[in-house]
Amino acid sequence: MIFISHATPEDNEFARWLALRLAKEGYPVWCDLTKLLGGEDFWKDIEFAIRKGSTKFVYVLSRHSNEKEGTLQELSVAKQVAKTKQDFIIPVKVDDLPYSDTNIQLQRLNCVDFTSNWMTGLGKLLEKLQTDAVPKDERFNPSSVADWWRDQMAQQAGVRSAKESYASNWFKIGDLPDEIYLHSLENEPECADKELPLGIPNYRYKGGVFCFEHQKHFAKRADEQGLSVTASQSISLNDFRFSGYARLKIQKPEARNILTYLLRRAFEAHCLSRGLVEYTLSGESRCFWYADSFAEGNKINFTHLDRRKTYRRMVGYKTLQPRDGVPRQRAWHFAIQPKVIRYPELSFAIKSHVVFSEDGKLYESKARQHSARRGQCKLWHNDTWLDRMLAAMSFLSDPSSALFITIPCGVEAEFSVQTTPLLFESPVSYEPADPGDLTDQPDEPANETGDDDEEEAELDEEVAQ
């Protein structure tokens, strides 16, 4: 029997996941969360179970188990058994507990690392069990795991009459300027762009520009570009947003499009000011990605929606197969794309992207970017995308408050964006009833080693030709 020791309730999710995975592979497992999974007798005496009933003692090493009295007592018993059983204790590390802080009873033992990816850690643990010829039990198999799940989780699975909150990717815009200005220009240059290179968001309109900057500041800005302001009109932004501007026959839809453009361009300019790099997507839309070494460890510390302090890496690497004997390393870069939405609240919808580079240069081919994205991100779950989006917004926030991003849009003109997304409450909640869903993973490692996926390998061959 493989005995799994873990901190309750802090490490329950991982311990249950590991027990079910090992049982699915045919290994007899005892864990207080699964108990009769294979029809085995329930161990009433934990010490007896460790001493007499266990072939391996898997210790879920975390910040919690490293200090909890219960798990440390089980570890002490296992250390006594280990004097007569070689490689009896197998620590599996599941969080960021520093090795220097690891309990002295474990410091000389090699840990199986699950911190970067649970499935990768499972593969290494299975190799260890196979090498040590740990016996299997036919009672433990995929069928018994499925039966246990149905029997034990049926009452909790499916739709439940309990409210549940869900996070969106919408971040509310607030504190808009009171006025929007239309400045008429003399000798306006002819070009097809929607805005002039004036250093602030602006929208060209019939020989002038809309912007949020007052004439006293805008005139100086225009003069530096060789332009003269011949007239300026101040318009209530609230009236412009909801009614348009009858004096110039600007209808509500056109006014909203002008406002949307100005807000989006201001957000994009703020991204660039914080060191993010622009990447042009299809359709000439833009996203903004995190360059290598933008921060220490390429990671952002932030406070999650549940007020838990955590972090996410925004840049990572993967070692690829050498080409012509030359080592290769591909980098992935998380990126965000802002889009203004008007309902139910004026907000930015933040769309997440990932772009890829090699030797410091982004892949020029959109097809190659797409292929790399499919291979790199196929195991990123919803929580992973949400965390990185929250981290990205936290990075852009004000130094004085992580709750808001202040977006400048001219001298003495700015607006704010909340860093907490709009939440939606469902009158019911849903509990998954498939053990295959228990594959949540922590943050990915900074460096990975692996083969290219098939699509990328084909593209590499095309490039080589």
Check residue 457 and give its pLDDT: 41
Residue 439 has pLDDT above 70, yes or no: no
With bands split at pLDDT 50, 70 and 90, how would you rate the model's confidence at 436?
very low
Q: What is the greatest pairwise CA distance in the chain? A: 93
Check residue 445 and give its pLDDT: 61
Indicate the length of the chain as a whole number.
465
Least confident residue range of 102-116, 269-283, 284-298: 102-116
Q: Which carries the bigger pLDDT value, residue 264 or residue 323?
A: 264
Q: Which carries the bigger pLDDT value, residue 447 or residue 338?
A: 338
Check residue 21 and give its pLDDT: 94
> What are the tens digits of pLDDT across the range 7-65?
998 999 999 999 999 999 999 998 888 775 655 555 557 788 888 889 999 999 999 99
Distances from the Cα of 103 to the Cα of 25, 74, 109, angstroms = 30, 13, 11
Judged by DSSP in three states, 254 sits in helix
Q: By 3-state DSSP, what share of the chain in percent is helix, strand and coil, each rounded to 5?
A: 35, 30, 35
Check residue 101 and give its pLDDT: 82
Q: CA gyration radius for the chain?
A: 29
Check residue 449 and give its pLDDT: 54
Average pLDDT over residues 436-461: 47
Sign of CA pseudo-dihedral 252, 254, 258, 260: positive
Residue type, 238: N
User: Which residues are CB-neighbours of 386 under 8 A, at least 6 positions away?
Assistant: 167
| Separation between Cα atoms, residue 123 and residue 130, nearest integer Å | 11
Segment of 30-34, 152-156, 233-237, 456-460 carrying the highest mean pLDDT: 233-237
Domain ranges of the chain: 2-154, 178-261, 275-395+432-464
Distances from the Cα of 463 to the Cα of 297, 332, 459, angstroms = 32, 20, 6
CB 167 within 8 Å of CB 386: yes
> What are the tens digits of pLDDT across the range 180-215?
999 999 877 777 788 999 999 999 999 899 999 999
Percent of residues, the chain, with pLDDT higher than 90: 59
Check residue 36 and give its pLDDT: 56
| DSSP assignment of 105-148 | TTTTSPPEE-SS-HHHHHHHHHHHHHHTTPPP-TTSSHHHHHHH
| Separation between Cα atoms, residue 207 and residue 184, nearest integer Å | 6
User: Which residues are CB-neighbours of 307 under 8 A, at least 6 positions away?
Assistant: none
Residue 313 has pLDDT above 90, yes or no: yes
Least confident residue range of 285-299, 417-431, 444-458: 444-458
DSSP conformational letter for 100? G
With bands split at pLDDT 50, 70 and 90, how would you rate the model's confidence at 441?
very low
Q: What mean pLDDT is reported for the chain?
A: 87
CB 42 within 8 Å of CB 35: yes
- β-pairing verdict for 203-205 and 208-211: antiparallel
**Stated pTM of the model:** 0.65
Average pLDDT over residues 288-316: 93
With bands split at pLDDT 50, 70 and 90, how would you rate the model's confidence at 110?
confident
| Separation between Cα atoms, residue 366 and residue 326, nearest integer Å | 24
| DSSP assignment of 269-321 | HHHHHTT-EEEE-GGG-EEEEPPTTSSGGGEEEEE-TTS-EEEEESEEEEEEE
Q: Which carries the bigger pLDDT value, residue 241 or residue 47?
A: 241
CATH number for the domain formed by residue range(s) 2-154: 3.40.50.10140
Check residue 460 and give its pLDDT: 39
Give me 286's structure tokens: 């833009």
Check residue 303 and give its pLDDT: 93
Residue type, 421: P
Check residue 261 and give its pLDDT: 97
Check residue 41 and give its pLDDT: 53
> What are the tens digits of pLDDT across the range 356-407?
999 889 998 888 998 898 888 887 888 899 999 999 999 999 998 899 999 9
Short-list 350, 321, 319, CA closest to 332: 319
CB < 8 Å & 24+ apart, contacts of 215-220: 215/181, 215/183, 217/410, 217/411, 217/412, 218/181, 218/183, 218/410, 219/183
